Structure 1
Amino acid sequence: MKQLLLTILFITFILPLAAQSGGETPAHPPKYEVRAAWVTAVYGLDWPRSRATTPEGIRKQKAELIEILDRLKAANFNTVLFQTRTRGDVLYRSKIEPFNSILTGKIGGDPGYDPLTFAVEECHKRGMECHAWMVAIPLGNRKHVTSLGKESVTQKKSSICVPYKREYFLNPGHPETKEYLMNLVREVVMNYDVDGVHFDYLRYPENAPRFPDTYDFRKYGKGRDLAQWRRDNITEIVRHLYKGVKALKPWVKVSTCPVGKYRDTSRYPSRGWNAFHTVYQDAQGWLGEGIQDQIYPMLYFRGNHFYPFVLDWQEQSNGRQIIPGLGIYFLDSSEGNWTLDEVERQMNFIRAHKLAGQAHYRVKYLMDNTQGLYDALEEDFYTAPALQPAMPWIDNVPPTTPTNLIVARQPDGYIHLSWMPSMDNDKRNVPTYVIYGSDTHPVDTSNPENIIAQRVQGTEYTYAPVRLWTAKKYFAVTAVDRCGNESEACR
């Protein structure tokens, strides 16, 4: 009987869902959409390949990142999830944890520049957001922890660290763990102009019934069962970090990448591997409480294990942004047996159901154009730029409209635009600008194909057409605040 019910569910729900995921890509991509890629630093998986031990090494290391960002920009990506903390070490100048050895080949070795500063500046130059991707709970295996020596948190703050299965972890059940993580986050948010903080592995280890937290459970459990206490511990850390970031800079997005299946749904079971039961993440509870701006569920699945769970996340979003993480690494024959059409169907499904966007794990497979994925994005899916979706739960007031747009055509074919500045209701922020151009008047600012540039700072912009005879005739400028609210256009 159970098998029969599953079959009926499959026919009733899943087949129609999969059918909706196919078809042609829309003529115009969405104007507002997150298009993100994870740039993985751990083990140098995506970046860097060179070591910053000499001036030439620094130049090469920077050039490797620039090449990645240039290609993402060329394909109209707008969000970079830049790995900033790995396993108890970091890729920025910290007073708490040492530099990751991947930068110089040496634990704590100073690379001669600040990688996070560089990443943020280079992303912003290209109109892209830069989110600091921070691995939260794992601290690495015994060999790694030993290599960090006295700089390891296991030495500095041993009371909040626990060993488990030949690895070390921060203890989510210890009240000081959330304070330690917030100290790290505070360094990043206060010292860098990041657009978001993105938490990875903010969960317990998988299937950890013997995780060594018995003492803490007895002390702090207060009548709850172990599973609920553990979920509450993770939620309390999420709550503390979210509120801490918002107290510093409300516009900085706070996001997490939980396990892709929350738990069983009415459409399809999670088959024992889910966020709620396996790793104690009540991620939909976080959305309901409003302590996340974005969720990037790791939906590295296909078929029935993808589509029903995408809908489940969207239905429980509470108006927050759901950006499914796509397992594009499975396109590599050494990782899996996916074909390109699998990813294309998933992206079509995401757009058809109006989710906030999609994220690609990892950037290497974009750079390698695995199975032609990069080409498909550039030529079919991301054919026009996209602006960031707004965060009205933080601020829903757009900046004032820029005024007095002046278009000056230069003898060399360049076109110089200038305008009077906009003002934002949050005086801590100066709006940036979006430049639109077209051959028809008035410029249609609802069409993303008319976007020439975004995140323009200052009140001037020089437009350099690829060819003189393709130069746009008419222009418009809007202002955007850090929460994504866009003003009316000045034409």
Structure 2
Amino acid sequence: MGRLPRRAFAAAALATLSGFGTAGDAAAARGPASARRSAAPRAVRGMWLATTSHRDWPSRTGLSPARQRAELLDRLDTAVRLRLNTVIFQVRPTADALWPSPYEPWSQYLTGVQGKDPGWDPLGTAVREAHARGLELHAWFNPYRVSGQPDPGRLAPSHPARVHPDWIVRYGGKLYYNPGLPPVRTFVRTAMLDAVRRYPVDGVHWDDYFYPYPVAGEDFDDGAAYAEHGAGFPDRAAWRRDNIDRLVLEMAAGIKKVRPGVRFGISPFGVWRNASTDPLGSQTRAGIETYDDLYADTRKWVRERSIDYICPQLYWHIGFAAADYAKLLPWWAGVARGTGVRLYAGEALYKAGDPAQPAAWQDPAELSRHLTLAAKHPEVKGHIFFAAKEAGADRIGAMARVVADHYRQPAKPPG
């Protein structure tokens, strides 16, 4: 395809850092020793480490504890090699756990059998080993997702969804906890806070799964819950948004009580609302709007300072007509301005070099241009890359280009 082999490109890019730097970088390199010893910058440089369906780790079921541990440490070492400083580790992918939780079963992604003890503690190991490498470890939880298949009978016998079948909703061939039930909200918060209580994590992280993404021709069946708990709301949509708002606020309060100083962040789908829907929205034409479709008022959480950081998934290239990175990033900067809530940009490393993606994603410099643009907006305090597998493979050298252009020196997290 006219490209250098992946490893060759990455090696060449990293070996010729000076060739990609800015004039300011070059001047600093030529400057006096005192300038070169200046304090490291503060910014989040992160990567997601996903465990659902073995996306990033572990590579498959049935691995020995030693092999699983070795693969996990290799992912952490990749972060260090790329001069990252934060790993977002998915530890509760589907109402299960990657630590010895008293509330939910061991994840099936460890042994192939939900509820089976893997013989070691992945979250405890990840926290300890990340800190030993100078990395922050943020525990990534999915609040309401229960299973990627619709049969509760295939869950572990002790699974809360089997003990409380009235808690679940079948939708799109999957199982979800019903966010409209107060006992569900209490339970999922308690289950997540158990990990915060046990381990010195640096952050608690949620992604974009609140109410599920819409499935054509199906309704999320929460009518009974709405009838019981929806009094006083103008419609079901407002009630659903309030359910998610409550979970956010209660989780934030719980974190501060259990382990003060742990930061709480959310990484939503990148479009709150299109401007055609709401004048406060972004200049986009996205088919999904988190406010209307996922019932997540992500802009409100920033403006009302309900969370410590937000990392919108800005998974589109510069110039993409429906959702232009160059328009969405400034919009989010404006939302965060003056709030004290830190803004990190979620970056689609997984698209770089994917032949199914548009031409922009075949250019190793696309992601680097994102960081160049973000540098013009002081509200942007860092970037998080999806995801660990691509960070390690770096199929066209896009991550190597980011390192060469922007990560010449280590950086400390904002703290």
Q: What is aligned with 1:233?
A: 243
Question: Distance in 2 between the 1:144 and 1:89 partners?
Answer: 16
| Runs of 5+ consecutive residues of structure 1 not aligned to the other structure | 1-21, 390-483, 485-491
Q: What is aligned with 2:131?
A: 124
Q: What is aligned with 2:400?
A: 375
Q: 2:194 aligns with which of 184, 187, 190?
A: 187
Question: Distance in 2 between the 1:207 and 1:26 partners?
Answer: 47
Residue by residue over 1:200-243, the C-alpha shift from the partner in whole angstroms, topping out at 9 and shown as x without a partner, is 24421123672111122222222421221111111111111111
Contact kept in structure 2, 1:199 and 1:256, CA below 8 Å: yes
Instruction: Confirm or deny that 1:39 pairs with 2:46.
Output: no
Q: What is aligned with 1:92?
A: 99
Residue by residue over 1:376-407, the C-alpha shift from the partner in whole angstroms, topping out at 9 and shown as x without a partner, is 23322211111121xxxxxxxxxxxxxxxxxx
Instruction: Indicate the SS of the match to 2:206.
Output: strand
State the shift of 1:95 in Å: 0.9
Contact kept in structure 1, 2:368 and 2:405, CA below 8 Å: no
Q: What is aligned with 1:283?
A: 298
* TM-score, length basis structure 2: 0.83
Contact kept in structure 1, 2:21 and 2:406, CA below 8 Å: no
Aligned-CA RMSD value: 2.2
Residue by residue over 1:83-121, the C-alpha shift from the partner in whole angstroms, topping out at 9 and shown as x without a partner, is 101112111111111111221222222121100000001
Q: What is the aligned length?
A: 366
Question: Distance in 2 between the 1:191 and 1:73 partners?
Answer: 25
Instruction: Confirm or deny that 1:301 pairs with 2:316.
Output: yes
Instruction: Confirm or deny that 1:312 pairs with 2:321.
Output: no
Question: Distance in 2 between the 1:103 and 1:60 partners?
Answer: 11
Q: What is aligned with 1:333?
A: 354
Question: Distance in 2 between the 1:235 and 1:332 partners?
Answer: 37
Instruction: Confirm or deny that 1:347 pairs with 2:371.
Output: yes
State the shift of 1:313 in Å: 1.5
Question: Distance in 2 between the 1:206 and 1:189 partners?
Answer: 28
AA in 2 matched with 1:38 = W
Question: Distance in 1 between the 2:269 and 2:305 partners?
Answer: 19
Q: Which has the higher contact order (CA 8 A, sep 6+)?
A: 2
Question: Distance in 2 between the 1:195 and 1:25 partners?
Answer: 35
Question: Distance in 2 between the 1:258 and 1:243 partners?
Answer: 20
Q: 2:220 aligns with which of 211, 231, 252?
A: 211
Question: Distance in 2 between the 1:158 and 1:127 partners?
Answer: 43
Q: Which moved more, 1:299-308 or 1:320-329?
A: 299-308
The 1:26–1:104 alpha-carbon spacing in structure 2 relative to 1, beyond 3 Å, is farther
Question: Distance in 1 between the 2:328 and 2:400 partners?
Answer: 28
Q: Which moved more, 1:355-364 or 1:200-209?
A: 200-209
The 1:25–1:135 alpha-carbon spacing in structure 2 relative to 1, beyond 3 Å, is farther
Contact kept in structure 2, 1:137 and 1:201, CA below 8 Å: no
AA in 2 matched with 1:168 = L
State the shift of 1:24 in Å: 4.6
Residue by residue over 1:238-272, the C-alpha shift from the partner in whole angstroms, topping out at 9 and shown as x without a partner, is 11111111111121111111111111246613434
Contact kept in structure 1, 2:101 and 2:194, CA below 8 Å: yes
Q: What is aligned with 2:10?
A: none
Question: Distance in 2 between the 1:85 and 1:25 partners?
Answer: 44
* TM-score, length basis structure 1: 0.70
Q: Which moved more, 1:261-270 or 1:281-290?
A: 261-270
Residue by residue over 1:253-297, the C-alpha shift from the partner in whole angstroms, topping out at 9 and shown as x without a partner, is 111111111112466134342211121110111112221111111
Q: What is aligned with 1:446?
A: none
Q: Which moved more, 1:263-272 or 1:97-106?
A: 263-272
Question: Distance in 2 between the 1:45 and 1:67 partners?
Answer: 15
| Runs of 5+ consecutive residues of structure 2 not aligned to the other structure | 1-19, 29-38
